[in-house]
Structure 1
Amino acid sequence: MSYRFVTPIPKRAATGSVAAVYSASARELGALFAPHLSPAPDLHAALWAVLRESMLAGTAPRARKEAVAAAVAVVNRCPFCVDAHAAMLHATGSHDTADAITRGEAPDPLVAWARSTRSAAPDPWPFPAAHVPEYVGTALANHFINRMVDALRPGSLLPGGVLRAPSRRAAGLALARTVRRTITPGESLALLEPGAGPAPAWAGDGPVATAWPAFERAARAGGALLGPTARAAVLEAVAGWRGEHPELGGWPGSVLGAVPEDERPGARLALLAALAPYRLTESAVAAWRSSVGPRGDAELVRVLGFGAFTAVSRLADRVAVVA
């Protein structure tokens, strides 16, 4: 599988938390989890913990959480993630739901809610309070994953055109045993560094409440790689975002006018990751690398991760208060 701009740590060379995430995800997800994030091991492990404890473990039906993930991928325009979660839905036997979601439809209130999580006014929660950490965690984790995939691994997972729908079903058949696997909650938490801070109210008091603060700390750390004016510009732009896909002409340059020239390339990367990751270009990455001196894959992942999390945090502010 090819990636842009970064070289993932290969499975044979992985150690520490990267090796642990690869091993667990191959067993529980059916694929190596987010190799493109492996240059930043703390972010890689923390995101895996959030995804595992919200979407793979827990008591809410896996098929319903895959429906949430697929619907989020559709509204974020992440073709790779749409294919992956549609295949997982087929693996659970939810063929009609998978087909409806990939057509851009909302066949039930849960899918409608998932689609609305990118908007300025999300729908009320259509699930019981006991399942809030799982469904909200699944939606928010996938909003982040979609952005990082679109930035670093764009394009579809499966053949396009008329082959895509049958390919999704075929991939689902291969994963049917994986989605039926019993996942013991909390096993990913040993990968996390302690002392990450308090959990948001929506995360409850279970494993998601431990995983989310570690993820937030790791993702926000990338902001230190931006200059202060650049960081403030990213935060301000995302604060005013209402879920729309940015205009094609002039953006993000139109919101970077007050950012010093030497800080602008980093701000551009973070804003693209936040609001339009599918528009990240080789020239934008090259401009950032040349503007800040020698910086490797880990720093690039962290700058993009900061931008992606800034958008996810804005979505969380809206989603988490809708009860």
Structure 2
Amino acid sequence: MADVYAQVERDFGMLAPPVALHSAAPEVMAGVWMLLRESLLARGLVPRAAKELVATEVSRANACPYCVDVHGATLRGLGGPVPGMPEPGPEVTGTRLTFHYLNRMVNVFLGESPLPPEVPGAVRGGALRVLGTMMGASARRPRPPGESLRLLPAAPLPDELRWAEDSAHVAGAVARATAAVSQAGERSVPEPVRELVTAEVAKWDGAAPGLSRHWTDDAVAVLDSGHRPAGRLALLTAMASYQAGSAVAEFREREPGDRALLELTAWASMVAARARAGLS
């Protein structure tokens, strides 16, 4: 955990809350940091501004205002004309995977803005510009690729993630991170819940399920009553993370530990991210 914190502060410019929120599960946190660093931050073939545009647009599609604010501000802080959307490749698709994952975790655990809620509305625009200037200055410093990979042992790259293999550092991060999250799911997500969520995400077209959460009642009806809180929270995290707040409290009544909560939501977020990364 100390190694991850040190790398995040050095390479991101601050201890980013979307990474730090994973502290209850250090292996997952290390994997998530690898994904973020090696896809978005590390020097590669795609300019940082183009990848920030991808991060911003994925975050907007996932209704994650926190990440839209951070990465939109960074994009503006980099200056110059706004780039066009880059062609798919390991760095671009890796950035999509990262933000399909992070948007869900941020929606579940963080507020709607990186700014403190006490900042008055009249000055929030100026505060975001200051944030963008800071983040833009940090983003201009090159980060050598691959430096985060030592945090976790090597792992095989899953077949559906072969899009990463033309970039050694992106492939290494994707393989290690998805392995860490899969292992977390095996520890903390009951097998019937894993089977249900995997099946529901596989047939999902990515559209928002709607304002009501009643669709989850029908979905989790196939589970034993003891598994339904986990099933509901996992489904909401994967498919409607902006609605997951009250499901957290229901899950905690049965599983009060922070690690179980973090690992379940991480697993569900990654299932959705793996399904959506190459599509939007």
Aligned match for 2:90, one of 85, 109, 133: 133
- Distance apart, 1:177 and its partner CA: 2.4
Shift of 1:160: 7.4
8 Å contact from structure 1 (residues 140, 312) kept in 2:
yes
Q: 1:162 to 1:237 in 2, by over 3 A?
A: farther
- Specify the alignment match of 2:25 in structure 1: 40
Tell me what 1:246 maps to. Answer: 209
Q: Is the 8 A contact 1:60 1:134 kept in 2?
A: yes
The 5 Å alignment of 1:197-236 reads: 197-198=156-157, 200-203=161-164, 204-224=166-186, 225-236=188-199
Aligned with 2:12 (options 4, 26, 29): 29
RMSD: 2.0
How high is the TM-score relative to the length of structure 2? 0.89
Match in the other structure for 2:230: 266
TM-aligned CA distance change 1:160 to 1:268, over 3 Å: farther
How far apart, in 1, do the equivalents of 2:121 and 2:61 lie?
Answer: 20
Deviations, residues 54-84 of structure 1 (Å, cap 9, x unaligned): 1111231111110110111111111111111
Is the aligned partner of 1:20 residue 2:3? yes
**Match of 1:263, as an amino acid?**
H
Distance 1:239 1:313 in 2: 10
- Which of 45, 66, 70 matches 1:80? 66
The answer to whether structure 1 residue 151 and structure 2 residue 114 are counterparts is no
Aligned-pair CA distance for 1:205: 4.2
Percent identity, aligned pairs only, is: 37
Deviant stretches of 4+, over 6 Å:
none
Q: What code does the residue aligned with 2:172 have?
A: T
Once the two structures are superposed, what CA deviation does each residue of 1:215-255 show, in whole Å capped at 9, x if it has no partner? 11122223322333222211111111111111223131121
- Following superposition of structure 1 onto structure 2, how do residues 171-186 of structure 1 map, counting pairs within 5 Å? 171-186=131-146
Q: Secondary structure at the match of 1:252?
A: helix
Q: 2:178 corresponds to which letter in structure 1?
A: E
The CA deviation at 1:272 is 1.3
Shift of 1:161: 5.0
Contact preservation (8 Å) 1:27, 1:178: no
Aligned length: 269
**Code of the aligned partner of 2:78:** T
Instruction: Find the residue that maps to 1:193 and give its secondary structure.
Output: coil
Is residue 67 from structure 1 mapped to residue 30 from structure 2 by the alignment?
no
Per the alignment, residue 261 of structure 2 pairs with: 300
Q: 2:40 aligns with which of 55, 58, 76?
A: 55
1:7 equivalent in structure 2: none
The equivalent position to 1:142 in structure 2, one of 53, 74, 99, is 99
Q: Which runs of 5+ in 2 are unaligned?
A: none
- CA–CA separation in structure 2 for the residues paired with 1:134 and 1:260: 41
Distance 1:168 1:135, change over 3 A: same
Which of 226, 233, 239 is the equivalent residue of 1:275?
A: 239
TM-fit CA distance, 1:164: 4.1
| CA deviation vs aligned residue, 1:20-78 (integer Å, no higher than 9, x gap) | 22212212212213111111111111111111111111231111110110111111111
